[in-house]
């Protein structure tokens, strides 16, 4: 699944949200220098944000299609899994990973980060948590249960916030073994989505990236009807979570 997001890299880059400016600025301020390594950089969404903040960014991604898209926006990218990537003696002031650290081996990932960071360097992993309005969430869940009953999340009863809390607690515990005590950051923000914008976003999410067109169309149609019933738009609250630690 980790390498399925590149099936439509253009849609991914267009539909996926950026990260809060406050998060980007805080990471840049906490880093001892401007040389950043972006793990799982995808199409370069956060890499472009860090570049705009004055950083020099090298991306790493296992998907050649995502890497090619990022390069078109001027981001240098090497195609590899982070755990297997050979830095060839290069070191960095910060290693960052946006919406990607859960694809990295929990033991090998922090070790590789420690290997490529300069003394006092920063490791920052972050991701968005969100939950659509109940009407939209329930329509999506019902469509998945009917059309895709074998998908792992079709029967998931926990909220996204509960899942991500467990995930980020695990990140912090693993990172703490090779770094200083991690900090946990949280940023609240919101965005208004139209029907078309949300239906553009959904196919970029895990589980839907590999669906046959007919099944995907059925899921999107049901969700689209729910959004129409809300008047065609809705406000989506986001929480962007981060675990941040300095090289010991």
How high is the pLDDT of residue 201? 96
Average pLDDT of the residues of the chain: 93
Q: In the 3-class helix/strand/coil scheme, how is 150-181 assigned residue by residue?
A: CCCCCCCCCCHHHHHHHHHHHHHHHHHCCECC
Question: Do the domain assignments include residue 78?
Answer: yes
Domain range spanning residue 10? 5-132+159-190+238-246
Beta bridge partners of 192: 235
Beta bridge partners of 35: 56
What average pLDDT does the segment 231-238 reach?
98
Q: What is the pLDDT of residues 13-32, one digit of tens each?
A: 999 999 999 999 999 999 99
Q: What share of the chain is helix, strand, coil (3-state, %, to 5)?
A: 45, 25, 30
- Cα dihedral 32, 34, 35, 37 in deg (nearest 10): 90
Q: What is the pLDDT of residues 75-118, one digit of tens each?
A: 999 999 999 999 999 999 999 999 999 999 999 999 999 999 99
CATH number of 37's domain? 3.40.50.150
Residue corresponding to tokens 């946006």: 98
CB atoms within 10 A of CB 247: 20
Number of domains forming the structure of the chain: 1
Q: What pTM, to 2 d.p., does this model score?
A: 0.92
Question: Do the domain assignments include residue 221?
Answer: no
Question: Do the domain assignments include residue 228?
Answer: no
How high is the pLDDT of residue 147? 85
Question: Do the domain assignments include residue 31?
Answer: yes
Q: What is the pLDDT of residues 126-172, one digit of tens each?
A: 999 999 999 999 999 999 888 877 765 555 567 888 889 999 999 99
């Amino acid at each position: 699944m980790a390498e399925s997001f590149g099936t439509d890299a253009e849609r991914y880059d267009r539909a996926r949200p950026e990260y809060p400016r406050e998060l980007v600025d805080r990471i840049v301020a906490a880093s001892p220098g401007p040389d950043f390594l972006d793990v799982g950089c995808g199409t370069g969404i956060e890499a472009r944000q860090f570049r705009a903040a004055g950083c020099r960014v090298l991306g790493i991604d296992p998907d050649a299609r995502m890497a090619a898209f990022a390069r078109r926006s001027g981001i240098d990218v090497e195609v590899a899994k982070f755990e297997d990537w050979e830095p060839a003696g290069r070191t960095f002031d910060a290693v960052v990973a946006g919406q990607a650290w859960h694809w990295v081996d929990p033991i090998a990932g922090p070790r590789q980060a420690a290997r490529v960071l300069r003394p006092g360097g920063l490791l920052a992993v972050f991701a968005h948590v969100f939950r659509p309005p109940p009407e939209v969430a329930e329509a999506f869940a019902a469509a998945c249960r009917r059309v895709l009953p074998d998908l792992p999340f079709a029967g998931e009863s926990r909220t996204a916030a509960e899942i991500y809390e467990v995930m980020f607690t695990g990140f912090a515990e693993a990172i703490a073994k090779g770094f200083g005590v991690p900090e946990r950051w949280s940023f609240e923000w919101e965005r208004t989505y139209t029907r078309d914008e949300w239906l553009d976003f959904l196919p970029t999410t895990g589980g839907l990236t590999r669906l046959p067109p007919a099944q995907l169309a059925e899921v999107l149609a049901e969700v689209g009807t729910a959004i129409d019933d809300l008047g065609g738009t809705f406000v989506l609250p986001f929480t962007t979570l981060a675990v941040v630690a300095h090289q010991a």
